[in-house]
Amino acid sequence: MVTAGAALAAVAATALAGGVIATAGASAATAEGNAATAGSRSFGAEAGSVTATAAESLSMLPAGRVGARAAIPWRLVGSGWALAEFTTASAKAAGPVWLFLVDPAGGRYQVYRWAATRQPWQLVDWSGDKTRALFENQGGSRPPLHQLVLASGKVSTFRLPSATDFVLGYTRPSGTNILVSGHGIARYNLAGVLQAQLISGSGYNAALSSADGTTEVVNGSTGVELVSNTGGVIRRLHVPGATAKLGGCTPVRWWNSSTALVSCVANTAIYSPRIWLVPVSGSPPLALTAVRNGRDGDYGDTDAWRFGKTVYVQALGACGVRYIGRQRSNGSVAPVNVPGSAGNNAVVATSGHRMLVQEFSECTPSSSVVWFSPATGATQDVLMAPESEDGVVSVVAYNRDGEQPSDLP
């Protein structure tokens, strides 16, 4: 078993690839209570302010540096930043768990630390106001949900009425409620009390919130559906060829403020997902990726990004592997090698010309996180899993519903 002291040393020396703890020359962000209103800011005084103080650093930590929570430059936190949950536990031994805030430069800030466990909470989402992270217990009946205030480390716990409910994440823009998939999609407050049933029926398991939080794009049988945050379908957005028989369409994230990036199962021999850009106005959708047949190793795409004129895809390989691919002008896909990885990689976020990539090992359940430039092949270690240890449990990007390279037109 890894002792707490040894594990901390391992994180500082091994898992963090030699990162040096940065001294915080600034005080912690001042906690400012928010008066609770029924069904609205139901997290109440628990959400500490993350507004920068006058003495707060206004620069990011460089690659390889590790800072304390008090050193976080909250004014700079935004697109390209991510929360990463990391542990030195393994299948044979418990280990402590850390929550890090990762900046686009490759620096890391230690936000929180849990005692040794083999079943860490699962990071679900990060609130749009930057203040809180949502976690879910693994296993058990009606597993509790936990909300962590990032600026103070305070934790609150609540439960949903049913164990069958699946938590999708915070509502936008600020995270005053959560969206839950059960018998449809519903909105609950942060005490587990139902606020509104957005849509009812079986099979609804995805929701993409608009920036102002007034509408959601949810999965559908012949496309996707735009629903009101107070309940009811506003518009059904059809995608050519999509049918319930094939599995319909799933909203992934926003391509821009008015267009959803949607994955729809195509009618091929392998029923591979294809990426469409679907305007919520009801205008005709546009296919971004070609229909896949598996002949070039791509069995379907679940996400896509455009860097300049180049489209990169999150491709499905054989045996459940995910990899990054570059779509050629003829529509075929060329695998993009991430140096040092086993080839099983998932894009978490983008910043400028780089991708934040979660690498999964070939033979163990461990994973690491690196910054990667698909154009040059350069990588930058962020959180590296020691051999035989779990490493990165989960990663959530800030504004994960709308991550795009900053140089997009």
Compare 214 and 42 and report the one with higher pLDDT: 214
pLDDT of residue 402 exceeding 70? yes
Residue 245's pLDDT is 81
pLDDT of residue 17 exceeding 60? no
pLDDT of residue 315 exceeding 60? yes
Tokens of 281: 């106005």
Grade residue 141 by pLDDT with cuts at 50, 70 and 90: low
Q: Does domain 4-22+58-402 have CATH number 2.120.10.30?
A: yes
pLDDT of residue 26 exceeding 90? no
For 274-305, how does the pLDDT look when each residue is reduced to its tens digit (9 = 90+)?
999 999 999 999 999 999 988 889 999 999 99
Give mean pLDDT, residues 108-120: 94
d(CA 25, CA 299): 50
Angle at 153 between CA 152 and CA 158, to 5 degrees: 120
Instruction: Give the DSSP H or E segment for 310.
Output: strand 310-316
Q: Domain residue spans in the chain?
A: 4-22+58-402
Please answer whether residues 209 and 195 qualify as being in contact, where contact means their C-beta atoms are separated by less than 8 angstroms: no
Tokens of 378: 């350069």
Query: What average pLDDT does the chain have?
Result: 84
Phi, psi torsion values for 343, nearest 5 degrees: 95, 0
Residue percentage of the chain with pLDDT more than 70: 83
For 255-275, how does the pLDDT look when each residue is reduced to its tens digit (9 = 90+)?
999 999 999 998 776 788 999
Residue 87's pLDDT is 93
Count CA atoms closer than 13 A to 46's CA, side-chain side.
22
Residue 4's pLDDT is 33
DSSP letter assigned to residue 249: E
pLDDT of residue 409 exceeding 90? no
Please answer whether residues 133 and 114 qualify as being in contact, where contact means their C-beta atoms are separated by less than 8 angstroms: no
For 215-238, how does the pLDDT look when each residue is reduced to its tens digit (9 = 90+)?
999 999 999 999 999 999 999 999
Give mean pLDDT, residues 23-50: 34
Residue percentage of the chain with pLDDT more than 90: 66
Phi, psi torsion values for 360, nearest 5 degrees: -105, 135
For 37-60, how does the pLDDT look when each residue is reduced to its tens digit (9 = 90+)?
333 333 333 344 454 444 456 789
For 329-340, how does the pLDDT look when each residue is reduced to its tens digit (9 = 90+)?
999 999 999 999
Residue 55's pLDDT is 47
Please answer whether residues 262 and 301 qualify as being in contact, where contact means their C-beta atoms are separated by less than 8 angstroms: no
**31: how many CB neighbours lie within 10 A of its CB?**
16
**92: how many CB neighbours lie within 10 A of its CB?**
9
Grade residue 90 by pLDDT with cuts at 50, 70 and 90: confident
Residue 406's pLDDT is 54
pLDDT of residue 376 exceeding 70? yes
SS (H, E, C) 327-362: ECCCCCEEECCCCCCCCEEEEEEEECCEEEEEEECC
Provide the edge-to-edge strand list for the sheet that holds 194-200: 166-170, 177-182, 184-189, 194-200
Residue 135's pLDDT is 97
pLDDT of residue 200 exceeding 50? yes
Which of 126, 96, 83 has its CA nearest to residue 390? 96
